[in-house]
Structure 1
């Protein structure tokens, strides 16, 4: 059943299934939102909600940490081993802790992309255990 236009945020329809293909599409969309949503004019550098929200002290970092932990939750549901889940959690925790430092943390958020790192961990798992989910590009 097609969702009405008002139910699709930003015109994007994300799959709600628990199959590996649906999960892959959702985590790729979340990573893009958090790490590559916008281009800084003049320097042509991609940033995302993680960097922008990190400019708001404490609250912004906590919100993006919760969004980053959603990727870990999706990875858990895919059956990733515990050590990979801990590694992913460590990436989010490190990004949140350093990102919370005024000024230095904001600069750090532009460089350290924990969600991109976590997406790579998940993609490697999916490519190995669910090869049909692989996409070209």
Structure 2
């Protein structure tokens, strides 16, 4: 896999979960937390964007159990994030997209290490 395609995974996850920083703290948040504030549709929109990472995982041959875990993270984030107020706080903390990107990157790293001629 080309480095640019891997960078896209990180860019999307960071945009959704950690693009912005609260000054004076180490706390980061992304579009998932912001768009999720829109009642009714915000979490559905960011959940749909998060599905791209799952789609990429399937394209890259991630095992079914890892794909299931990614879908579970996204489902939990989308459903709990839709709860007024509590869900908005949850969105700031859970960061499903960063978790999913790490799982996908771990699979890609393992896949790369398993290539013939690599040690």
Q: TM-score, normalised by structure 1?
A: 0.78
Deviation at 1:62, TM superposition (A): 0.6
- 1:93 corresponding residue in structure 2: 75
> How far did residue 82 of structure 1 move?
1.1
- In the other structure, the counterpart of 2:57 is 75
2:86 is aligned to 104
- Please name the residue that 1:38 is paired with: 20
Runs (5+) with no aligned partner, structure 1: 1-18, 132-137
In structure 2, stretches of 5+ residues that fail to align are 114-119
Alignment pair present for 1:24 and 2:2: no
Report how many aligned residue pairs link the two structures. Answer: 114
TM (normalized to structure 2)?
0.89
TM-superposed deviation, 1:44 = 4.3
Higher relative contact order (CA 8 A, sep 6+): 2
Moved over 6 A (4+): none
Deviations 1:38-94 (A, max 9, x none): 112343421100111111112110110001110000111001011111110010000
Kindly state the Cα deviation for residue 20 of structure 1 after the two structures are TM-superposed.
4.4
Change (3 A) 1:112 1:92: same
Coordinate RMSD, CA, aligned: 1.6
